[in-house]
């Protein structure tokens, strides 16, 4: 409702604004421009700086990662990439590292959320209706610590670190 009022107010301020019924409503077809108007140079620089900082943070996450339990046993491998065509977003794939070579489950990550020093990675195993959730907090550029929660709700303490390329 608020956005409709903003849009109507902006349209009324336009030169050559369409005639509206007495109710003040404006049809979608009559709406012809960005209601916020052009950004000032300062606003454009600010937006660019924020996007650049976030994109560089996301870029640091690209690559191969391994998630291990407290005993050091590798549980999953992650491949993270900047989402094609969308700056500042991550996408990825996962694979189980618990069953041995060639017997592991694999799949795509369904959602990655990176806010501040916290990251959450959700993925579905097999035909599960609920995701496995990896919740991590950044320790260093190449080390994150947190929990891996399976579909049954069991949480395992984990550490995610850069995969060693051999």
Comparing 116 with 16, the larger pLDDT belongs to 116
In this predicted structure, the answer to whether residue 27 has a pLDDT above a threshold of 90 is no
For the ranges 5-9, 42-46, 64-68, the lowest mean pLDDT is seen at 5-9
pLDDT (0 to 100) of residue 35: 56
Q: What is the pLDDT of residues 99-109, one digit of tens each?
A: 766 666 889 99
93-148: pLDDT as tens digits? 999 988 766 666 889 999 998 888 899 999 998 888 999 999 999 998 889 999 99
Interacting residues of 120 by C-beta distance below 8 A, sequence separation 6+: 111, 112, 113, 133, 134, 135, 136
Domain range annotation of the chain: 1-34, 59-162
Residue from 106, 88, 85 nearest 97 by CA: 106
CATH 3.30.230.10 corresponds to the domain 59-162? no
* Confidence tier at 76 by pLDDT (50, 70, 90): very high
Q: What tokens does 126 get?
A: 């097999």
């Amino acid at each position: 409702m608020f956005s409709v009022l903003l849009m109507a107010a902006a349209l009324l301020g336009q030169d050559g604004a369409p005639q509206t019924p007495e109710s003040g409503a404006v049809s979608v077809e009559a709406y012809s421009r960005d209601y916020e108007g052009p950004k000032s140079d300062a606003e454009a620089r600010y937006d660019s700086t924020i996007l650049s900082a976030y994109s560089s943070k996301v870029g640091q996450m690209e690559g191969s990662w391994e998630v291990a339990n407290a005993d050091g046993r590798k549980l999953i491998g992650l491949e993270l990439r900047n989402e094609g065509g969308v700056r500042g977003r991550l996408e990825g794939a996962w694979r189980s590292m618990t069953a041995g070579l060639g017997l592991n489950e694999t799949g795509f990550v369904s959602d990655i959320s990176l806010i501040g020093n916290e990251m959450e990675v959700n993925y579905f195993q097999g035909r599960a209706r609920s995701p496995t959730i990896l919740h991590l907090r950044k320790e260093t550029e190449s080390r994150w610590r947190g929990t891996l929660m399976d579909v049954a709700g069991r949480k395992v303490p984990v550490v995610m670190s850069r995969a060693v390329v051999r």
